[in-house]
A = this chain, B = another copy of it.
Amino acid sequence: MLPNPFDLIPSSALRPISGAIGDVVFHQGDPTHGLYVVQTGRVHLERVGPNGERFIIHRAQAGTSFAEASVFSEVYHCDAVCVEAGALIRIDKAAVLAAFADPAFARAYGRQAAQQIQAQRQMLEIVGVRRAEDRVMAGLVAGLLDGSVVEFAARLQLSHEATYRSLRKLVQDGRVTNPTRGIYHLRP
């Protein structure tokens, strides 16, 4: 089992950053310093449209990284705005580029990236399923219902009502068991 790749970065390359709500971590066009890890709070990456509209291109959650591609870029290509106060860590791009010379880091990074890409591809397939019932079933098969149904519904890009109804239908049709309130399992 390979470790989290960023554990292999020297701590001198890590800069803690505290983000208050509304803080702009970086602007589009700023020279890149590195990638970021969200420890707590939430950060939105946004691009400004031609008429000034703001388009969210990513919502970074606690425990995830963002702006990884900035390591290979001279400037940031979007804005990063803190939408929930928290703590970030910035990882210096030079340190990351240097770390790729360490095969252990390179493999750990490659592994994590490959898994994330697979997971995202699957999410794109799942949210592309039109019928709510089919989407819920696909989500269950993918193991996305680990926490609450509300959270599950959000991942599926469905209203929680539609999700509850689909779950009930799947239970009625015998494809899913509902041993207790809020718990649903695939029937094998």
Contacts and interface: CB of A to CB of B under 8 A. Distances in A.
A141 B49 contact: yes
Interface stretch (A9-17, A80-88, A110-118, A160-168): A110-118
Binding site secondary structure of chain A: helix
Given A103-B100, A138-B55, A120 B122 contact: no
Interface string A99-132: 0110101110111011111101111110110000
Contact of A124 (B71, B111, B120): B120
Interface residues of A, number: 48
A186 interface: yes
A111 B69 contact: yes
Given A2-B72, A103-B101, A123-B124, A113 B111 contact: no
Interface of A: 2, 47, 49-51, 53, 55-59, 68-69, 71-72, 97, 100-101, 103, 105-107, 109-111, 113-118, 120-125, 127-128, 137-138, 141-142, 157, 175, 186-188
